[in-house]
């Protein structure tokens, strides 16, 4: 059964396109004088928080006399005072670097964007065709702070954190919507 001409003009001629891009965050730099003892990843990182913790702040420090103790700020942040529960061991300053520069377990902010468009083509006359289009770029308005490294100073209470609100290196555009009309003759 054929649609009436006016129904075909309304229902027909639509085009919808979407382009979704996602990328896992690049590996973050690791501190030079710290050994990773356990998997330090934090589950479900909240990138919208004021202070984003990317890995466990539980750091034990080895002193020059060979004794080992958990950093006081680690205990304040909820880590156990037991050295065996620490995720990181800070070596004395004279110790050579024994860790890789980066780890695939610890990643920066991941990026994703969705660009989408919807188009409607009308045949106005035999020679004139009109196209209306609505396009949206970064439709989810997702912020991306992938240029920023987590704090890698094991003596700093902000070890393993980044502050997105204080960063000026957002690497994505805000949501943009544009409308257009095009005539073909």
Nearest Cα neighbor of 85 from 71, 100, 106 is 71
Cβ contacts of 121 within 8 Å, gap of 6 or more: 13, 14, 15, 129, 130, 131
Q: So what's the pLDDT on residue 70?
A: 92
Name the phi and psi angles at 84, rounded to 5: -65, -20
Mean pLDDT of the chain: 83
Tokens of 27: 């590996």
CA atoms within 13 A on the CB side of 155: 7
Number of H helices, E strands in the chain: 2, 12
Q: So what's the pLDDT on residue 182?
A: 94
**For the chain, first and last CA: distance in Å?**
31
Q: Is the pLDDT of residue 1 over 70?
A: no
96-151 residue pLDDT tens:
666 667 777 778 877 788 899 999 998 888 899 999 999 999 888 877 766 677 88
The reply to whether the predicted model has a pTM over 0.85 is no
53-74 residue pLDDT tens:
888 889 999 888 888 999 999 9
What percent of the chain has pLDDT above 90? 22
Cα separation, 109 vs 140, in Å, equals 16
Strand order in the sheet with 129-137: 14-23, 111-123, 129-137, 176-184
Burial 31-59 (b: 16+ CB within 10 A, else e): bebbebbeebeeeebeeeeeebbbbbbbb
Q: Are strands 68-70 and 52-53 parallel, antiparallel or unpaired?
A: unpaired
Q: Is the pLDDT of residue 45 over 90?
A: no
Tokens of 37: 């003892």
């Amino acid at each position: 059964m054929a649609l009436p001409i006016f129904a075909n003009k309304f229902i027909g001629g639509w085009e919808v396109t979407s382009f979704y891009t996602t990328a896992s965050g690049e590996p973050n730099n690791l501190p030079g004088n710290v050994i990773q003892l356990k998997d330090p990843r934090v589950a479900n990182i909240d990138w919208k928080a004021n202070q984003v913790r990317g890995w466990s702040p539980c750091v034990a420090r080895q002193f020059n006399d060979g004794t080992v103790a958990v950093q006081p700020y680690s205990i304040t942040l909820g880590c156990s005072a037991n050295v065996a529960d620490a995720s990181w061991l800070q070596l004395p300053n004279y110790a050579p670097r024994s860790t890789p520069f980066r780890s695939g377990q610890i990643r920066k902010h991941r990026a994703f964007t969705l660009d989408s468009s919807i188009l409607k083509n009308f045949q106005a006359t035999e020679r004139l065709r009109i196209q209306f289009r609505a396009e949206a770029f970064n439709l989810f308005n997702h912020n991306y702070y992938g240029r920023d490294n987590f704090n890698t100073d094991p003596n700093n209470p902000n070890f393993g954190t980044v502050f997105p609100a204080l960063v000026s290196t957002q690497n994505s555009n805000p949501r943009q919507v544009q409308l257009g009309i095009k005539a073909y003759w």
